[in-house]
Amino acid sequence: MISEEILIRECKKHNRIAQKELYETYTPVMFGICIRYAVNDAEAKDIMQEGFIKIFSHIKQFKGKGTFEGWMKRIMINTAITHYHKTRKSRTNRNIDEVDATSIHEETQQQNEISDGIDRTDIDEKNINFDIVEQAGLNVNDLLSALNTIPEAFKLVFNLYCIEGYKHKDISEMLRIDEKTSRTRLSRARNLLQKKIYELSIKKVGK
């Protein structure tokens, strides 16, 4: 296997073989990032391809400060954010600022009742039995499906803050929003995810 240093050097020379090698080496990691920001697999694939093209065209800018994987991840995240801004207007999304927690809660309950027939009217935010969550042993796919149920803007802030480790100040700059908005979105995302995860856990344990 070619070392990372040689790969980078050859990619800077636009060597196709090296580019292919780099792509194949980092595809799983990068796809893991993209899937968290995308709505579905196809969109994740698009973001990843776009990200790799950016990587190949800007690879000369990588001066060796920090890890190469970290640099690539940042490009992927930025690509995902750009993609979000591009597609936001075209999507028939509700204005998330107007969405309040109550309406989301009601909506989620209604959807779940329709989908699995379990009555969740007794689920109270303050009286959640979290042992069920532990028992359920949710896997990555469950967590992803829960993440995909919350509004995209909430998901974006949650991903950037909780998983990538960015600060609210950075997030506000990246998403072109206020810091306060970023905090609010994170809080809402947490609440929604807790409920969703609890519901998923009940469903799993019940089975």
Partner 1 sequence: MSREELNIEQLYQDAFKNYKPERNDLSWFDIDSKVARVNFFKFSLTSFNIYYAALVVTTFTLASFLTVNQITGNSEKIPSSPDKELFLPVVNPSADDNLQVFENESVVSEDETSDNLTGKEKLSKEQSAEKSPGIESSTGKNKIPAIRKIDSSLLNSPEISIVHEDLAPDSTIILKEDDVIVRDTILRFEKSSRSKRKKR
Q: Which residues bind partner 1 (CB under 8 A)?
A: 13-16, 19-20, 23-24, 27-29, 31-32, 35-36, 45, 48-49, 52-53, 56-57, 126, 128, 130-131, 133-134, 138-140, 143, 147, 158, 161-163, 190, 193-194, 197
Distance CA 188, CA 194 (A): 10
CB nearer partner 1, residue 115 or residue 141 = 141
Nearer to partner 1, 81 or 197 (CB): 197
- Please report where in the chains the tokens 């994170």 appear, as a residue: 186
Q: Cβ 161 to partner 1, closest distance in Å?
A: 8
3-state helix/strand/coil string of 16-30? HHHHHHHHHHHHHHH
Name the residue nearer to partner 1 (CB basis): 73 or 172.
73
**Amino acid residing at 191:** N
CA nearest 23: which of 62, 61, 49, 57? 49
Tokens 């800007």 correspond to: 58
Residue entry with tokens 């050097």:
9
Shortest gap between Cβ of 1 and partner 1 (angstroms)? 16
Task: Categorise residue 146: left if φ over 0, alpha if ψ from -120 to 50, beta otherwise.
Answer: alpha
Task: State the minimum distance, in angstroms, from the CB of residue 205 to partner 1.
Answer: 13
- Given the complex with partner 1, which of 27 and 67 has the nearer CB atom? 27
CA–centroid distance for 162 within its chain? 10
Using the minimum distance from each CB to partner 1, give the nearer residue, 63 or 89: 63
**Least separation in angstroms between CB 87 and partner 1:** 19
User: CB of 117: closest distance to partner 1 in angstroms?
Assistant: 25
